[in-house]
């Protein structure tokens, strides 16, 4: 009788969706976790007691459209990332001489926990459009889109002909745009050309700069970085409202503000952990389960 051999093999099961009930908690107890399709993680929230402070309040209307109010402007929210410390919003497009749809919304993020992310581009469209970004009465960036009647209107780039783009400055807190026609082109008639300018999430830049028709758009996707004011964070730690486990999550001073007197803190779960680092015990391990199965 042949001997029976035991062969041992390893089955590695990857539990990508395996979470404890605690790790699924992204909001405070008793708080709504969604507005429409949007997940609302703490420190954001929809009502008092659910958000860190009023600046993180998400308004949810009867149609389930989430909005964040910044500097008196309501911005529709596309997503909120705790791990990435970003929030995606629909941001107003500036336009001039476009069938009576002139818009020039100035948004000032000073005093807020937000700053325009370096993931955004500044784009200007129109014939002979000189578009400049200004802050504190100083020009801080811009670009020029020129006319070329012989160019292919279906060209697939935004390289200066009827469309130009540039990176935005670091620590940009104010979006204020001025547009005008080039002085040496078409005289005063150049000022009557329809022109646009806007910030745009770089992952959407191609669609909205080349393929998108801006004439009918009031807003485009933009990314904001966010963090918690350092003094607020220190007070939360001191009074026991915030607990940061050194082996599951970390909190560091961020660089979203150029003003050292207004520094912020951003928290994240360590690699291999998942959850909300702003809630006690929420960062829990994600990984592999090793199972050894004997067979004959």
Helix spans in 23-132 (H)? none
5 pLDDT more than 80: no
Helix spans in the chain (H)? 205-206, 230-238
> Band of the pLDDT at 144, cuts 50, 70, 90?
very high
Q: Is residue 211 part of a domain?
A: yes
Q: How confident is the model over 165-197, as pLDDT tens digits?
A: 999 998 899 999 999 887 655 555 556 788 999
* Percent of the chain's residues with pLDDT above 70: 75
7 pLDDT more than 60: no
Q: Among 76-85, 107-116, 232-241, where is mean pLDDT lowest?
A: 232-241
- At 13 the pLDDT is 26
If one compares 238 and 59, the residue with the highest pLDDT of the two is 59
Q: How far apart are CA 200 and CA 196, in angstroms?
A: 12
147 and 277 belong to one structural domain = no
> Band of the pLDDT at 30, cuts 50, 70, 90?
very high
3-state DSSP call for residue 55?
Answer: helix
127 and 234 belong to one structural domain = no
- At 245 the pLDDT is 64
Q: Which of 153-167, 232-246, 268-282 has the highest mean pLDDT?
A: 268-282
Q: How far apart are CA 185 and CA 188, in angstroms?
A: 8
Q: How confident is the model over 250-267, as pLDDT tens digits?
A: 888 876 655 545 688 999
Q: Is residue 37 part of a domain?
A: no
93 and 150 belong to one structural domain = yes
Q: How far apart are CA 48 and CA 172, in angstroms?
A: 29
Give the chain's mean pLDDT. 80
Q: Phi and psi dihedrals of 231, rounded to 5?
A: -70, -35
Q: Phi and psi dihedrals of 19, rounded to 5?
A: -140, 150
15 pLDDT more than 50: no
114 and 221 belong to one structural domain = yes
* Percent of the chain's residues with pLDDT above 90: 46
- At 217 the pLDDT is 84
State the residue range of the domain holding 264.
1-25+228-289+291-295
- The number of distinct structural domains making up the chain is 2
Q: Which of 32-46, 123-137, 198-212, 214-228 has the highest mean pLDDT?
A: 32-46
Q: Which of 176, 196, 225 is the last residue of a domain?
A: 225
232 and 217 belong to one structural domain = no
Q: How confident is the model over 70-107, as pLDDT tens digits?
A: 999 999 999 999 999 999 999 999 998 887 677 888 99
> Band of the pLDDT at 157, cuts 50, 70, 90?
confident
């Amino acid at each position: 009788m042949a001997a029976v051999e035991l062969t041992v093999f390893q089955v590695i099961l990857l539990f990508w969706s395996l979470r404890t009930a605690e790790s699924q908690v992204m909001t405070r107890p008793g708080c709504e976790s969604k507005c429409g399709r949007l997940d609302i993680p703490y420190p954001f929230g929809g009502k008092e007691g659910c958000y860190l402070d009023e600046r993180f309040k998400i308004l949810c209307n009867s149609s389930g459209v989430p909005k964040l109010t910044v500097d008196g402007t309501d911005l529709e929210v596309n997503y909120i990332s705790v791990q990435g410390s970003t929030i995606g919003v629909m941001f107003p497009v500036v336009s001039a001489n476009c069938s009576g749809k002139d818009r020039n919304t100035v948004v000032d993020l000073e005093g807020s926990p937000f700053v325009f992310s370096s993931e955004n581009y500044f784009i200007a469209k129109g014939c002979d459009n000189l578009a400049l970004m200004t802050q504190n009465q100083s020009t801080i960036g811009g670009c020029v889109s020129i006319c070329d009647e012989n160019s292919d209107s279906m060209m697939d780039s935004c390289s200066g002909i009827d469309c130009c783009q540039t990176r935005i400055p670091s620590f940009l807190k104010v979006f204020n745009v001025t547009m005008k026609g080039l002085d040496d082109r078409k005289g005063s008639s150049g000022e009557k050309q329809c022109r646009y300018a806007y910030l745009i999430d770089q992952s959407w830049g191609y669609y909205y700069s080349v393929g998108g028709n801006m004439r009918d758009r009031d807003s485009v996707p933009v990314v904001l970085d966010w963090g918690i004011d350092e003094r607020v964070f220190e007070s939360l730690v001191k009074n026991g409202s915030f607990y940061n486990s050194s082996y599951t999550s970390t909190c560091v001073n961020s660089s979203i503000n150029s003003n050292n007197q207004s520094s912020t803190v951003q928290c994240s779960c360590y690699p291999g952990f998942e959850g909300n680092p702003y809630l006690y015990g929420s960062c829990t391990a994600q990984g592999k389960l090793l199972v050894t199965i004997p067979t004959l």
